[in-house]
Amino acid sequence: MKRSQQFIDLVLPWAGLAIGVAALSVAHQFGSDGTFDHCLSNSPGPVLLVSAIAILVTLGGAFASWTVFRDESEAPARKVVAVVSIGSALLFVLAMILPVIAALMIPPCFQ
């Protein structure tokens, strides 16, 4: 139990960055596959659902990094990593919002 707590404490400042990269890659891959593979039978619903889940997961990772940044007892280096992680998570959220807008505006198969 102690070892897993140490691992979580070590990884916590990096949570926004690591989770954001994974969520963005899943959302991007699902969106590109879902848009171009079966465009006549695919609606934007699944793309929107996966993107919304990925955005929520990324914001959760950013919040985990935020807790490290707000803690007064943390070392300055960990706070810098947390700030970079929060900023990158917010950029990843922006990168996930743009395909959501495209899925809502562009018709299937560009008809």
pLDDT over 50 (residue 49): yes
CA atoms of 90 and 81, how far apart (whole Å): 14
pLDDT over 90 (residue 18): yes
Q: Which helix (H) or strand (E) holds 78?
A: helix 76-105
pTM (2 d.p.): 0.85
Domain that holds residue 14: 2-110
Per-residue pLDDT, 40: 57
Residue type, 71: D
pLDDT over 50 (residue 61): yes
pLDDT over 70 (residue 100): yes
Average pLDDT rounded to a whole number, residues 70-75: 89
CA atoms of 35 and 92, how far apart (whole Å): 20
Place of tokens 């914001």: 59
Query: For residue 58, which phi and psi values (nearest 5 degrees)?
Result: -65, -40
Half-sphere exposure at residue 91, Cβ-oriented, CA atoms within 13 angstroms = 9
pLDDT, the chain, mean: 86
Per-residue pLDDT, 38: 61
CA atoms of 13 and 82, how far apart (whole Å): 5
Least confident of 71-75, 81-85, 93-97: 71-75
Q: What is the largest CA-CA distance in the chain?
A: 57
Report the domain count for the chain.
Answer: 1
